[in-house]
Chain A
Amino acid sequence: MNSHLWRVSAMVTVIATPAICETAPKDVSFAEGAVEASLTGVPGDPANGVKVMTTNALGNCVACHQIGALPDVEFPGTIAPPLDGAGDRWSEAELRGIVANAKMTFEGTFMPAFYKVDGFVRPGDGFTGKAGTEPLAPILNAQQIEDVVAFLVTLKE
Chain B
Amino acid sequence: MARFTKTMKSLAATALGLALAGAALAGPAEDELVIETDDGPVRIVTKTAAPAFLADTFDTIYSGWLFRDDTTRDMERDDFDNPAMVFVDRGMDAWNAAMGANGESCAGCHQGPESMAGLRAVLPRVDAESGKLMILEDYINACVTGRMGLEKWGTTSDDMKDMLSLISLQSRGMPVNVAIDGPAAHFWEQGKEIYYTRYGQLEMSCANCHEDNYGNMIRADHLSQGQVNGFPTYRLKDAGMVSAQQRFVGCVRDTRAETFKAGSDEFRALELYVASRGNGLTVEGVSVRH
Contacts and interface: CB of A to CB of B under 8 A. Distances in A.
A139 B200 CA distance: 12
A82 B16 CA distance: 9
B201 A139 contact: yes
A77 to B, nearest CB: 5
Given A82-B21, A110-B212, A127-B253, A5 B200 contact: no
B259 A129 contact: yes
B21 A123 contact: no
A76 B217 CA distance: 8
Interface string B237-270: 0100010001101111111111100000000000
Interface residues of B, number: 50
Contact of A129 (B14, B218, B258): B258
Interface residues on A, range: 35 or more
B220 interface: yes
Contact of A1 (B9, B249, B255): B249
B222 to A, nearest CB: 10
Nearest to B259: A129
Contacts of B21: 66, 78-82
B213 interface: yes
A1 B257 contact: no
Interface string A2-26: 1111110000000000000000000
A87 to B, nearest CB: 12
B203 A112 contact: yes
A79 B6 contact: no
A108 B252 CA distance: 19
B218 A120 contact: no
A130 B258 CA distance: 5
Contacts of B200: 120-124
Contact of A127 (B6, B16, B254): B254
Contacts of B29: none
Interface string B132-172: 00000000000000000000000000000000000000000
B216 interface: yes
B250 to A, nearest CB: 4
Given A81-B18, A128-B253, A107 B4 contact: yes
B13 A120 contact: no
Interface string A117-152: 000111111111111100010010000000000000
Given A74-B220, A123-B256, 17 more contacts: A2-B251, A33-B3, A77-B219, A80-B17, A82-B20, A82-B21, A104-B5, A105-B10, A112-B202, A120-B203, A121-B197, A122-B200, A122-B257, A124-B256, A126-B256, A128-B253, A129-B249
Interface of B: 2-6, 9-10, 13-14, 16-18, 20-21, 24-26, 197-204, 208, 212-213, 216-221, 235, 238, 242, 246-247, 249-259
Which 6 residue pairs across A and B have the least CB separation, nearest first? A81-B17, A2-B250, A129-B253, A75-B220, A131-B258, A63-B219
Interface of A: 1-7, 32-33, 56, 60, 62-64, 66, 74-82, 85, 89-90, 103-108, 110, 112-113, 116, 120-132, 136, 139
19 contacts: A2-B249, A2-B253, A2-B254, A64-B218, A75-B220, A77-B218, A79-B217, A79-B218, A81-B20, A82-B21, A89-B13, A90-B9, A104-B3, A106-B6, A112-B202, A122-B199, A127-B256, A129-B252, A132-B258
